Structure 1
Amino acid sequence: MARRLLEIASNSVASALAAQAGGADRIELFDNLAEGGTTPSYGSIAVARERLRIPLFVLIRARPGDFHYGPLEAEIMLRDIAQCRQLGCDGVVIGALDADGNVDTALCQALVSAAGPLQVTFHRAFDAARDLPAALEQVIALGCQRVLTSGGQASAEAGAERVAALVAQSNARIGVMAGAGLNARNIAAVAARTGCVELHASAKVAQRSAMRHHNPALVGLSPDWTGTDAEEVTALRAALDRI
């Protein structure tokens, strides 16, 4: 078995740099962690590309919520992909469904075509699909390099058996990357149970504000935030390397 690849989902440039310091093999950069992730800003992508020495993939998602997009959102995502190509990113992370829970092949093909030479990961819109085996065949036909999945469950640990079945179905035609709810305590077991050689985690911890002043009346505007911790990434990497 080849060395397993650890991708870290990073909700800021600071998180991405912490992930790199901790031993991540690849970054998925995004914004709005609490809402499932959206496309980060131009500045975030540009600075991340300048500072990172490891591959940088960018989430292409126009808004939170479902994965059924209209023409305006499609145009936004196509322009975001063009921006990622201009900035020298290594890959993009895309996904879209139709109203019936099938892969929106027309939109996704346009997104894949826009990516050109960049690698393409199909994100966890896949887990929201009506029929995962059928969706996998659709994603393979699109030409994506990998699909990120928890097997349609809340976590990759809970969906490990389904992920293993998807790995078997893929028959090396596409990479199947397990993700959601992975930590240093369970990542090795999920890797072994699923057969995945790529694993996706966030290694997130609460980050405390350095502000000495805080207005408690501003409900919903907490000064604290969540971000990737380098030590958590190191622990994830170590757990995988012990397999």
Structure 2
Amino acid sequence: MGPDGRVLLEVAVEHGRDVPGAQEGGADRLHLVAPSEAGGLSPELAAVTEVCRETDLPVFVVLRLNDSWTTTGGELTRLVGLAEDYLARGATGLCFGFLDADLLVDTEVCGHLVQALPGVPWTFPDAVDSSLEPARAWRQLLTLPDLVAVRSAGSPQGMSVGYDDLLATAASAPGIARLLLPGGGLLAEHVPWLVRAGVRQLHLGPQARPGGSRKAYVDASHVRSWRLLADDALDLARRHSASPAR
């Protein structure tokens, strides 16, 4: 949940030029990722320094060195060092998450990173949507410390396919709803239902850019429209829950 009890709005940024639009539009947290052609990997250190210098908002930086959801022992050592460098340059938290050979959450790798970076808040990416057993993956995630969000679209194909499953997942347990960070094809029409199911975080990627193009900078008016939508949805959900049952 965001400041003052509102729905937290996380906006994906790639460089300092994206920061003004996100901040002025009402973002609560920035998700810093390398430029789109890099496939959603870890950004350069210079980009972390630039973004953190441009904002007082929490900046969570992607920790991922290849375009799969697996990692190796040698790569894991590099990830820890990179994470420490990001934090030293002003990052508030990190975004990382891996699956094992059985396509379940790699709790050993994730646990190693959590232990190496004690007390650092982190978010789990949409790797959960590629898990062989999503329900089991969620049970695993709920045991990991310092985890503040799990991004999911309910399906690797995005919310156009996974929305119904995502909504059911949110409604299945308050702990899951609290961590759930819908993204990947999120539409305005989804928001009221997700918020009513207990979701209190939303992720904006292309939705925050004119034409949905990642070649365009994050736009304040686009972010603001989602900010108002989320605020209205939360107000409606609260009024609904306060209404006496008939």
CA RMSD of aligned residues (A): 2.4
Q: Is the 8 A contact 1:163 1:194 kept in 2?
A: no
Work out the percentage of aligned pairs sharing the same amino acid: 27
Which residue in the other structure is 1:130 paired with? 132
Which residue in the other structure is 2:231 paired with? 241
Number of equivalences: 226
How much has 1:84 moved relative to structure 2? 2.2
Q: Is the 8 A contact 2:154 2:163 kept in 1?
A: yes
The answer on 1:204 being equivalent to 2:186 is no
Query: Which residue identity lines up with residue 182 of structure 2 in the other structure?
Result: A
The separation in 2 between residues aligned to 1:157 and 1:194, in whole angstroms, is 18
The answer on 1:68 being equivalent to 2:70 is yes
The answer on 1:23 being equivalent to 2:36 is no
Which residue in the other structure is 2:121 paired with? 119
Q: Is the 8 A contact 1:164 1:195 kept in 2?
A: no
Q: Is the 8 A contact 2:174 2:198 kept in 1?
A: no
Q: Is the 8 A contact 1:207 1:227 kept in 2?
A: no
The separation in 1 between residues aligned to 2:40 and 2:101, in whole angstroms, is 21
The separation in 2 between residues aligned to 1:70 and 1:190, in whole angstroms, is 39
Describe the shift of the 1:207–1:186 C-alpha distance in structure 2 as closer, same or farther (beyond 3 A).
closer
TM-score (norm 1): 0.83
- Structure 1 runs of 4+ aligned residues shifted over 4 Å read none
Query: Which residue identity lines up with residue 74 of structure 1 in the other structure?
Result: L
Which residue in the other structure is 1:161 paired with? 164
Which residue in the other structure is 2:96 paired with? 94
Q: Is the 8 A contact 1:49 1:89 kept in 2?
A: yes
Query: Which residue identity lines up with residue 237 of structure 1 in the other structure?
Result: R
How much has 1:207 moved relative to structure 2? 10
Q: Is the 8 A contact 2:153 2:159 kept in 1?
A: yes
Query: Which residue identity lines up with residue 145 of structure 1 in the other structure?
Result: V
How much has 1:235 moved relative to structure 2? 1.2
Describe the shift of the 1:6–1:50 C-alpha distance in structure 2 as closer, same or farther (beyond 3 A).
same
TM-score (norm 2): 0.82
The separation in 2 between residues aligned to 1:11 and 1:154, in whole angstroms, is 23
Describe the shift of the 1:140–1:52 C-alpha distance in structure 2 as closer, same or farther (beyond 3 A).
same
| 1:61-107 deviation per Cα after TM superposition (whole angstroms, max 9, x unaligned) | 1122x211122322221112111222232211110111221111111
Query: Which residue identity lines up with residue 197 of structure 1 in the other structure?
Result: R
Classify the secondary structure of the residue corresponding to 1:103.
coil
Classify the secondary structure of the residue corresponding to 2:157.
coil
Describe the shift of the 1:28–1:204 C-alpha distance in structure 2 as closer, same or farther (beyond 3 A).
same
Query: Which residue identity lines up with residue 180 of structure 2 in the other structure?
Result: V
The separation in 2 between residues aligned to 1:194 and 1:159, in whole angstroms, is 16
How much has 1:187 moved relative to structure 2? 4.9
The separation in 2 between residues aligned to 1:53 and 1:157, in whole angstroms, is 34
Which residue in the other structure is 2:183 paired with? 179
How much has 1:206 moved relative to structure 2? 5.9
